[in-house]
Amino acid sequence: MLDNLHMKPSNKISIYNVDFICYVSQLDWGNSVLCHRYYQGLPNQIQYPIFIWEQGKPTSFQDIYALAMIINHCYWEQDCKYHHAKQVEKEALESHFQKQGKASTSSTAMAPQNKAKTSPAASSAKNSSSKSSLSPTPKKQPNTLQVDLSSKLVSNGKLTIDECKKCLKNNLCLYCSAGDHKLDSCLKKQTTISPKGCSASETASKKLLEK
């Protein structure tokens, strides 16, 4: 019977000790034999710490019995702490997921209410803004600059003598007195002037300037 006695890993050592003492009381074995047989019946969770014990594996039954009790107590204490920590972590995760689910549900329920609270004025303004964005914007017409040349022209449409001298001296247009172009490229001429006419008028203007 004693050869078949083994402690289950899920059992406490107190049950194994009671059964072992009960069988040993009927036998006349020596101390070393009892120590070896007691060690063989222990589970790995207690055997391995005894095997690597700093002071060496005990050789008497009383010493290995006391050491096995200490190791078993430490093992179940650590096991209890481990399961407690796992339970706390599980509860924290469940609470976190429940809060997230409530928040998402409340936000989903509030969305139709916010949509229903939209005022007619805001909706009409939104529609008008969307219509205005879809309507094509009118193109701006370039502003044409109208220059008053009445003070610079005589009755026949030509520059006055003083104005002509000023234009030749400052290298300006002989029609509108602008400095960014010449007479042949002036866009404000009312009549088309031939290149010969242009050269003749410029020659005449130069003669006037020399006078």
Residue-wise pLDDT tens digits, 79-131: 889 888 988 989 888 888 888 877 777 677 666 665 555 555 555 555 565 55
pLDDT of residue 66: 92
Distant-in-sequence, close-in-space partners of 77: CB < 8 Å, separation ≥ 6: none
Summarised one tens digit per residue, pLDDT across range 21-44 is: 888 888 888 888 889 999 999 999
201 burial type by CB count under 10 A (0-12 exposed, 13-18 middle, 19+ buried): middle
